[in-house]
Amino acid sequence: MQPSVQPFFDLNTGTMTYIAYEKPGSACAIVDSVLDYDPKAARTSMRSADAVIAFIREAGLTVEWILETHAHADHLSAAPYLQRQLGGKIAIGESIRTVQGVFKKIFDLEPEFQLDGSQFDHLFGDDERFMIGELEASAMYVPGHTPADMAYHIGDAVFVGDTLFMPDVGTARCDFPGGNARTLFRSIQRLLALPDETRLFVCHDYPPSAREPHWETTVGAQRADNIHVGAGKTEDEFVAMREARDATLDMPTMILPAIQVNIRAGQLPHAAGNGTTYLKIPLNAL
């Protein structure tokens, strides 16, 4: 069964949020939501999430899942806000525990912060099957960008997170803690082994100046034309390219607020005694 897919593009972070559903009035899943955050003012807002809510309510959809492909470093998740408004279970891959362990130390999080993924409602294992109403779905473990990336295979569509970008942009960086270029190449090969006509939906687009943002491609297009892994490029060629390229990249603008919120399933840290919520900035740690 082919899902309908409604995309929402956040220009500020280049992030795609998706709603996957069968038809109006059916169940749905939200993939990779965005909580708007102004890093200069340290203020959050719900503009992006409210657009998702408005579409779901207008289409009469019922939210069963709020899916995260990984703990994003470039935007904050709006999953808790969406859950309060619409219901559904917040889910991510089970290797989020590894990421939590790394970043609890980096951010010196409170002792009671658990490293078992219990902040999420569900942790997916590799190849775990689940349903979105009548839509059959499965979780695919695709590490490399981080150690905890999941892709979600729903009908003929796969939501690949940061594992692949559009063919003319290539692939995601692998220099975050636990990332690995060789692992990413092998995860990508798993995706490229799917049928050519399989629809792939990317989590980000950083388009060249000559085109508008795009977010849907196919396995066949990626296999033929992806500038980093297409046209028969070897694993060693990819690793050499990826590691050299990653050495030149700046850290994402949002990485410090995003990671410490997203490993909490999008929840903000508890407010201090004065009623204000604070995020930490670890100096010389990343």
pLDDT digits (tens, 9 = 90+) for 108-160: 999 999 999 999 999 999 999 999 999 999 999 999 999 999 999 999 999 99
> Based on the structure, what is the number of domains in the chain?
1
Q: What pTM does this model have? A: 0.95
Say what the pLDDT of residue 75 is: 96
3-class secondary structure, 202: strand
Residue 116 CB neighbour total at 10 angstroms = 12
Q: Does residue 286 have a pLDDT over 90?
A: no
Let me know if residue 271 belongs to a domain: no
Please indicate, yes or no, if residue 202 is contained in any of the structural domains.
Answer: yes
Is residue 279 in a domain?
Answer: no
Instruction: Show the domain range for 45.
Output: 4-262
Q: How confident is the model at residue 190 (pLDDT cuts 50, 70, 90)?
A: very high
Q: Is 125 left (phi over 0), alpha (psi -120 to 50) or beta?
A: beta
Q: Is residue 167 part of a domain?
A: yes
Q: Is residue 286 part of a domain?
A: no
**CB burial of residue 269 (10 Å; 0-12, 13-18, 19+):** middle
Sign of CA dihedral 64, 83, 53, 254: negative
What is the average per-residue pLDDT within 7-13?
A: 94
> In whole numbers, what is the pLDDT of the chain averaged over residues?
96
The predicted-structure confidence for 254-285, as pLDDT tens digits, reads as follows 999 999 999 999 999 999 999 999 999 999 87
CB 65 within 8 Å of CB 58: no
Give CA 233 to chain center in angstroms: 25
Residue 267 forms part of a structural domain: no
CATH number of the domain at 142, please: 3.60.15.10
CA distances from 102 to 109, 176, 263, 282 (A): 11, 11, 10, 13
Q: Would you place residue 187 in the very low, low, confident or very high pLDDT band (cuts 50, 70, 90)?
A: very high
Asked if residue 56 belongs to a domain, the reply is: yes
Q: What is d(CA 132, CA 200) in angstroms, rounded to the nearest whole number?
A: 18
Per-residue DSSP letter, 174: -
Nearest to 187 by CA among 150, 240, 223: 150
User: Can you give the pLDDT at residue 210?
Assistant: 83
